[in-house]
């Protein structure tokens, strides 16, 4: 294990450490002025030719990776990206935060400022530390499948490709607000009123990707969702490591995926209305679970890579 001091700075942020863990896997810790503390990331780097490589920000779900459910533990992402000339940056924090800027401090989460951190503080300081190309893409699942759309809307031009797997773009409707509040509370016991305000707060509409879809123009977009019906991975033999009991994966995961399927179809239709190109994958089966998200990451990789090359 090799740890190196990395005093790269940008916009007040600072890379505190860059540690080689194993093969193409590193850990980087970045101090965020907006967040007021250090944020750890898992980092996949090219073993050769790292200088000038682009960067993919790959966000975890509602647990933020803090609950042990993350891209490296539940999928073979480390192996998939080995040999690919890209930096893959995976936050190890963010549970229940929607990776957004919160309006007020919360007794459970403090005052998350993820949007400021991810769009303004982090990219330039990582570009300097990794000697990257400055070309970025972003992808996320479930909770962060909503977040990646909002982050791209908030920072036009920052991400060449945006990939949302099983994310819901409808957040300001009564049903959308209820779902967001439920996800925040279930993941962190926090109160989403501290995030985007009360039901009539304009912040809900500002953070509704469906309403703000026109601001995605210029990015390559990939959307996907299963139907909620059991599929190839909803068997005891095919579950991902650390998956919930199979009955929960089928019943709870099926209901969740059915709901986000409606969101994904609506978002895809909205993008068509706006003449914004998007690749949309809507298979006939699939629950809200990791093996499907692994497949979608691999399926979307050509679009992500094309954007990073452009």
What three-state secondary structure class fits 14?
A: strand
Residue range 238-265: mean pLDDT, rounded: 94
Query: What confidence tier does 2 reach under pLDDT thresholds 50, 70, 90?
Result: very low
pLDDT per position as a tens digit, 152-200: 999 999 999 999 999 999 999 999 999 999 999 999 999 999 999 999 9
Residue 89 CB partners (closer than 8 Å, separation 6+):
28, 41, 42, 43, 55, 56, 57, 58, 126
Q: Is the Cβ–Cβ distance between 188 and 95 less than 8 Å?
A: yes
pLDDT at 247: 95
pLDDT at 176: 96
Give, to the nearest 10 degrees, the angle between helix 143-154 and helix 174-188: 110
pLDDT per position as a tens digit, 187-223: 999 999 999 999 999 999 999 999 999 999 999 999 9
Residue range 119-133: mean pLDDT, rounded: 96
Residues in the chain: 310
Query: What confidence tier does 8 reach under pLDDT thresholds 50, 70, 90?
Result: low
Q: Tell me how far apart the alpha carbons of residues 78 and 41 are, in angstroms, rounded to a whole number.
A: 14
What three-state secondary structure class fits 194?
A: helix
Which H or E run contains 191? none
Residue range 72-94: mean pLDDT, rounded: 97
pLDDT per position as a tens digit, 37-62: 999 999 999 998 899 999 999 999 99
**Residue 121: pLDDT over 60:** yes
Q: What would the two tokens of residue 224 be? A: 């996907």
Q: Tell me how far apart the alpha carbons of residues 27 and 13 are, in angstroms, rounded to a whole number.
A: 17
**Residue 6: pLDDT over 70:** no
pLDDT at 295: 98
């Amino acid at each position: 294990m090799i740890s190196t001091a990395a005093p790269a700075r940008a916009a007040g942020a600072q890379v505190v450490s860059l540690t080689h863990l194993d093969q193409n896997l590193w850990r980087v810790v970045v101090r965020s002025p907006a967040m007021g503390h250090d944020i750890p990331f898992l980092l996949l780097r090219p073993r050769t030719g790292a200088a000038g490589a682009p960067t993919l920000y790959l966000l975890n779900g509602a647990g933020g990776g803090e609950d042990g459910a993350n891209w490296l533990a539940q999928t073979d992402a480390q192996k998939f990206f080995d040999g690919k000339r890209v930096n893959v940056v995976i936050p190890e924090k963010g549970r229940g935060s929607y990776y957004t800027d919160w309006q007020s401090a919360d007794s459970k989460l403090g005052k998350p400022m993820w949007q400021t951190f991810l769009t303004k503080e982090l990219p330039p300081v990582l570009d300097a530390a990794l000697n990257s190309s400055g070309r970025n893409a972003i992808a996320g699942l479930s909770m962060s499948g909503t977040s990646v759309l909002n982050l791209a809307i908030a920072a036009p031009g920052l991400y060449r490709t945006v990939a949302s797997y099983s994310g819901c773009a409808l957040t300001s409707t009564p049903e959308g607000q209820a779902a967001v509040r439920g996800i925040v509370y279930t993941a962190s016991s926090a109160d989403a009123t501290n995030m985007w305000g009360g039901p009539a707060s304009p912040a809900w509409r500002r953070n509704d990707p469906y309403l703000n879809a026109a601001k995605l123009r210029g990015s390559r977009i990939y959307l996907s969702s299963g139907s909620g019906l059991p599929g190839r991975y909803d068997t005891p033999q095919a579950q991902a490591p650390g998956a919930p009991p199979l009955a929960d994966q089928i019943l709870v995961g099926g209901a969740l995926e059915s709901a986000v399927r409606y969101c994904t179809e609506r978002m895809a239709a909205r993008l068509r209305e706006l003449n914004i190109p998007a690749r949309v994958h809507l298979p006939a089966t699939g629950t809200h679970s990791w093996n499907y998200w692994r497949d979608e990451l691999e399926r979307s990789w050509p679009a992500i890579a094309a954007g990073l090359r452009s």
